């Protein structure tokens, strides 16, 4: 039986990022010899990973990953792509279910450009990947960017963008869910993305005073849960901020490193700067997030493209007054009104896509000839679009 390697290597990713490998494993485990590898940085033990995935897990170093040859490799971590041997067919499972307003004009192509296939559910994410990889490969070909030395794998290759129904979330809600009100509490989650991702001045950390004051001015009894990105807890600035916020009885710090779903479950809304977790919250709960993207920090081509994509689809506040209006307005919305916004977004991003069981099995079998390709980005950054613009075509 042919082997497929699934690699977990997200720094302190815990179960949250291990969950990205599970749909691929479930799709392949009865058809291939699935070998799961994890490194020592993932923040979860070998035993915990085995319990979660329901299969053996091998602990390895990066050198061991670099020795793999002529294999199919699937990973939840883009950064290891450059370590892989050229003979491997590599598949990266993109994080989140939507694109993000990042500062990086290349949209992380310094990592993703090494992969043969990128799997995601989000049309908007693929559009940002296409834009970023076009600029990255154009500048690489023009020698404005240099290849890192001692790499056996090129970042100038054909990269297939492969569409799949959202990973890590339940099936689409068919009707507005009933929200059980257990008390008069109203819980607002603050979910900053990783430090350094947002344009300067646009992160939640830099706008914490505006955000918290906007919430408390509209909903004085609101409780706030602050959940920084897991690797940012080690930063002195974040430690100090957590200590300051923890002095307020209505603020709690989520440092559990547990599954995001536990966090989503207790929040009534989430405010974020650029985290795809805002959309994951909506997809898991049918409740609405708020993206705070302050005016004056939207000059990045990626941010501008994201704002244009999400206009009319996601709640986006560009200043404190808009944030106040949304915070209060969301509390007053009915479940039917929230469902209308949820469904409009879901249909725009995911309609016509297919289950991971179909997509991963077919991708491993057919590779660059996969029926589920959204587009192919060639080695020069050229984009070849609309492989499955007709959803029925993927079934033929």
3-class secondary structure, 292: strand
Q: Are 257 and 15 in contact (CB under 8 A)?
A: no
Query: What mean pLDDT do residues 262-271 have?
Result: 94
Helix/strand/coil for 118: strand
Are 222 and 208 contacting, i.e. CB atoms less than 8 angstroms apart? no
Q: Is the pLDDT of residue 66 over 80?
A: yes
Average pLDDT over residues 276-286: 94
What domains, with CATH codes, occur in the chain? Answer: 3-165+353-391 (3.40.50), 187-350 (3.40.50.12580)
Give the number of other Cβ atoms within 10 Å of residue 376's Cβ: 18
pLDDT tens, position by position, 361-370: 999 999 999 9
Rounded Cα–Cα distance for residues 122 and 6 (Å): 22
Rank 65-79, 137-151, 176-190 by mean pLDDT and report only the highest.
65-79
Contact 323, 292 (CB under 8 A): yes
Residue 377 has what pLDDT?
96
3-state secondary structure of 344: helix
Is the pTM higher than 0.95? The answer reads: no
Give the tens place of pLDDT for each residue, 19-49: 999 999 999 999 999 999 999 999 999 999 9
Starting at the edge strand found earlier in the chain, the sheet holding 316-317 runs: 251-253, 223-226, 187-191, 269-272, 289-292, 316-317
Residue 333 — very low, low, confident or very high, per pLDDT cuts 50/70/90? very high
pLDDT over 70 percentage in the chain: 95
Half-sphere exposure (Cβ direction) of 240: Cα atoms closer than 13 Å: 4
């Amino acid at each position: 039986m042919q082997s497929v390697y699934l690699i977990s290597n997200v720094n302190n990713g815990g179960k949250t990022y291990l969950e990205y490998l599970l749909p691929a494993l479930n799709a392949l485990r009865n058809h291939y010899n699935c070998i799961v590898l994890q490194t020592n940085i993932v923040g979860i033990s070998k035993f915990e990973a085995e319990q979660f995935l329901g299969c053996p897990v091998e602990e390895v170093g990066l050198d061991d990953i670099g020795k793999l040859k002529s294999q199919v490799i699937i990973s939840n971590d883009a950064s290891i792509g450059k370590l892989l041997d050229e003979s491997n067919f590599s598949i990266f499972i993109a994080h989140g279910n939507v694109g993000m307003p990042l500062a990086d004009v290349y949209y992380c192509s310094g990592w993703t450009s090494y992969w043969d296939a990128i799997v995601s559910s989000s049309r908007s994410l693929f559009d940002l990947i296409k834009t970023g990889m076009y600029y990255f490969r154009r500048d690489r070909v023009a020698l404005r960017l240099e290849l890192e030395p001692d790499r056996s794998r090129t970042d100038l290759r054909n990269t297939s963008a492969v569409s799949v129904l959202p990973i890590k979330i339940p099936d689409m809600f068919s009707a507005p869910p009933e929200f059980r009100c257990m008390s008069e509490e109203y819980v607002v989650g603050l979910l900053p993305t990783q430090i350094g991702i947002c344009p300067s001045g646009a992160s939640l950390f830099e706008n914490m005073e505006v955000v918290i004051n906007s919430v408390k001015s509209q909903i004085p009894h609101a409780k706030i849960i602050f959940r920084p990105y897991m690797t940012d807890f080690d930063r002195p600035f974040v430690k100090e901020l957590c200590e300051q916020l923890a002095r307020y009885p209505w603020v709690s710090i989520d440092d559990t490193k547990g599954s995001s779903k536990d966090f989503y479950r207790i929040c009534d809304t989430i405010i974020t700067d650029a985290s795809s977790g805002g959309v994951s919250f909506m997809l898991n709960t049918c409740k609405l997030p708020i993206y705070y993207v302050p005016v004056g920090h939207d000059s990045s081509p990626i941010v501008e493209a994201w704002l244009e994509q999400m206009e009319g689809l996601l709640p986006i506040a560009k200043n404190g007054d808009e944030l106040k209006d949304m915070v209060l307005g969301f509390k007053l919305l009915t479940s039917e009104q929230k469902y209308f916004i949820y469904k409009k977004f879901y249909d725009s991003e995911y309609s016509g896509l297919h289950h991971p069981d179909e997509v991963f099995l077919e991708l491993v079998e057919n590779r660059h000839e996969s029926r589920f390709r959204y587009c192919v980005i060639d080695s020069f950054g050229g984009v070849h679009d609309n492989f499955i613009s007709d959803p029925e075509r993927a079934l033929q």
